[in-house]
């Protein structure tokens, strides 16, 4: 079906206006869902359920020496693959990558070569990663630091008014959500409150990975930056931020208890319910002016 925006599919529905009215045939726009498989040489396969908002099929690749190769300056599939590899712990930085490339025979496959696959921290492989996947062993993460994570730095400072400005900026960029109401978004911002990249996807994890990858493909870094999210803050979302070096997470919804504990342990500022002129800061308030100081 034709749709006005990439990432949106138009379908026929039976609309019920109320409990008494006869159903009406109508057209409804829903968020697109597809599969993208990462074939990581020497490690395994990861199939991500995602929302492509750009055309697939154009040849593209990335190497550390040459940067992005192909006709697209910031290919979305490679951005998602790169962000996932970083936030999942498969790489620690761009220097660990030999190449990322769309498979010429199947544009829904990204082939990944690491410089040393034996150094990849592999918690799971040969899996389908759904839009709201879980993780095992949260107590091991908190008590024994099983993932061997380092606390993020403390370089980012925000004015209180920036919280709502950043949230509005992300919301204004949500074209897929505006048409479907069914997608999540993530926006990375720097120490000056400038939005560096925005991404949308059906999965909140994908949106975060995708926006991290977009910044990296632009030659930037997300370390010392913050991120705005349209979703709740789960344990896995915070772990992705810690691995990437993001210091602040602003979300429209609530964090979970484990997300708060992990953010506290690894020095991430969590602010939830950032909407309607209000916000609730759950951890490390010292990064936000006039809110408080950190206890540790």
CA distance 81 to 75: 10
The pLDDT of residue 134 is 42
Distance CA 218, CA 237 (A): 22
Q: Within a 13 Å sphere around the CA of 158, how many CA atoms are in the beta-carbon half?
A: 31
Model pLDDT, residue 167: 93
DSSP the chain: ---SSTTEEEEEEEE--SSSSPPEEEEEEEE--EEEEEEETTTEEEEEEE---S-S-S-EEEETTTEEEES-SS-HHHHHHHHHHHHHTS-SSGGGEEEEEEETTEEEEEEEEES-GGG---S--SEEE-TT---S-HHHHHHH-TT----------B-HHHHHHHHHHHHHT-HHHHHHS--EEEEEE-TTS-EEEEEEESSHHHHHHHHHHHHHHTT---TT-EEEESS-B-HHHHHHHHHHT--EEEESSPBPHHHHHHHHHTT-EEEEEEETTEEEEEE-GGGBTTT-----
pLDDT at 235 (0 to 100): 86
Q: Single out the residue of 180, 231, 214, 204 nearest to residue 81, CA to CA.
A: 214
Which of 28, 133, 136, 225 is catalytic? The answer is: 133
Domain 160-287 sits in which CATH superfamily? Cytidine Deaminase, domain 2 (3.40.140.10)
Q: What is the pLDDT of residue 12?
A: 80
- Using CA atoms, how far apart are residues 88 and 232, in angstroms rounded to an integer? 19
pLDDT tens-digit profile, the chain (296 residues): 444 568 888 878 777 676 677 878 888 888 887 889 999 999 888 988 899 988 776 778 999 888 898 877 788 999 999 999 999 888 988 899 999 999 988 888 999 999 998 888 776 665 556 544 444 355 666 777 767 889 999 999 998 888 989 999 999 999 999 899 889 999 999 999 999 999 999 999 999 999 999 999 999 999 999 999 998 888 889 999 999 999 999 999 989 888 898 899 999 999 989 988 889 999 999 998 878 677 55
pTM beyond 0.85: the answer is no
Q: Where are the domains of the chain?
A: 35-134, 160-287
What is the structure's pLDDT at 261?
87
Distance from chain centroid for Cα 258: 19
Is 103 tagged catalytic? no
What's the CA dihedral at 204, 74, 155, 229 to 10 degrees? -20
Cα–Cα distance, 263 to 172 (Å, whole number): 28
**Measured distance CA(94)–CA(115) in Å, rounded:** 10
């Amino acid at each position: 079906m034709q749709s006005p925006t990439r990432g949106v599919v138009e379908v026929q529905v039976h609309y019920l206006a109320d409990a008494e009215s006869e159903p009406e045939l109508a057209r409804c726009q829903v968020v697109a869902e597809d599969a993208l498989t990462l074939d990581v040489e020497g490690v395994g396969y990861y199939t991500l359920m995602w929302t492509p908002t750009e055309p697939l099929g154009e040849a593209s690749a990335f190497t550390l020496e040459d940067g992005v190769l192909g006709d697209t300056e910031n290919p979305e599939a490679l951005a998602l693959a790169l962000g996932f590899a970083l936030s999942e712990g498969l790489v620690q930085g761009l220097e660990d990558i030999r190449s990322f490339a769309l498979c010429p025979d199947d544009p829904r496959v990204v082939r990944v070569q690491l410089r040393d696959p034996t150094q990849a921290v592999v918690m799971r492989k040969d899996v389908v990663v759904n839009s709201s996947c879980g993780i095992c062993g949260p107590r091991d993460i908190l008590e024994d630091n099983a993932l061997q994570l380092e606390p993020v730095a403390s370089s980012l400072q925000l004015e209180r008014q920036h919280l709502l400005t950043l949230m509005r900026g992300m919301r204004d960029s949500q074209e897929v959500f505006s048409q479907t109401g069914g997608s999540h978004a993530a926006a990375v911002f720097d120490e000056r409150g400038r939005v560096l990249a925005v991404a949308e996807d059906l999965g909140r994890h994908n949106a975060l990975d995708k926006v991290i990858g977009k910044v990296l493909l632009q030659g930037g870094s997300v370390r010392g930056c913050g991120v705005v999210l349209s979703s709740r803050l789960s344990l896995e979302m915070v772990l992705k931020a810690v691995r990437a070096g993001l210091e602040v997470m602003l979300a429209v919804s609530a964090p979970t208890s484990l997300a708060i504990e992990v953010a506290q342990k690894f020095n991430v500022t969590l602010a939830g319910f950032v909407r309607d002129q209000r916000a609730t800061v759950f951890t490390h308030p010292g990064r936000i002016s006039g809110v408080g100081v950190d206890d540790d």
